[in-house]
Amino acid sequence: MPGSRPTPDVLALIVCDQIITDRLTGKQSLIGMFSNVHARGFPATHAQLCVFVALTDGHGETDLLIRIVDSNDARPPIVEGKGRVLFKDPRAIANLALQFHGLTFPEPGEYRVQLYAAGALLREARLMLNVFQPPTGPRPQDPATEI
């Protein structure tokens, strides 16, 4: 499309428990990265879920949308957030830290954390919601959050 800007490149899209930003340096630490959530029953409410996004190769102002949906878009999004980032230089890296509280997942299954820029889907991360099963052997390799 003539005159349209290219969409930014996604360097990272990570789901975690907490994002800590150092006040002096601005450096961010991601605490408790995960892609699986175990709940004792459904619907399940997750107290806090954070999403870290790193973008580069952006041009000027770019509208962003982040949402969490079930994998087949059968229901309205669990959450949706809009924002705008300004890239003064395409070589710059924009780090975004989003925090969501009290998200309710209606049933177990696969969900997606989706990132859109200027209406185009840039990247999605899988988030599996499972019914809690007490461990019976060695701990799993993929850390999970229990709610």
Q: What CATH number should be reported for the domain holding residue 122?
A: 2.60.40.2550
Q: Which residues contact 25 (CB under 8 A, 6 or more apart)?
A: none
In a domain, 146, yes or no: no
Of 6-10, 71-75, 78-82, 133-137, the least confident: 133-137
Q: List pLDDT tens digits, range 26-59.
A: 999 999 999 999 999 999 999 999 999 999 999 9
- Total length of the chain: 147
For residue 141, is it within any domain?
no
Asked if residue 45 is part of any domain, the answer here is yes
Residue 2 has pLDDT above 50, yes or no: no
Average pLDDT of the chain is 91
Strand ranges for 5-119 from DSSP E: 9-21, 28-33, 36-39, 44-56, 60-70, 79-87, 94-105, 109-117
* Predicted TM-score of the model (pTM): 0.85
Alpha carbon distance 11, 141 (integer Å): 24
Domain count, the chain: 1
Q: Does 137 fall in a domain? A: no
CB 124 within 8 A of CB 13: yes
In a domain, 122, yes or no: yes
Which of 18-22, 30-34, 122-126, 135-139 is the least confident region?
A: 135-139
Of 39, 50, 60, 56, nearest to 15 by C-alpha is 50
147 part of a folded domain: no
pLDDT of residue 1: 46
Tell me whether residue 66 is in a domain.
yes
Listed range (2-11, 59-68, 69-78, 81-90) with the worst mean pLDDT: 2-11
Q: How far apart are CA 112 and CA 110, in angstroms?
A: 7
Burial of 44 (0-12, 13-18, 19+ CB in 10 A): buried
pLDDT category of residue 134 using cuts at 50, 70 and 90: confident
Taking the C-alpha atoms of residue 81 and residue 98, their distance in angstroms, rounded to an integer, is 9
Q: Which domain holds residue 102?
A: 9-131
The whole-number pLDDT of residue 73 equals 85
| 4 within a domain of the structure (yes/no) | no
Asked if pLDDT for residue 129 goes beyond 90, the answer is yes
Contact, 126 vs 14, CB < 8 A?
no
What average pLDDT does range 69-98 have in this prediction? 93
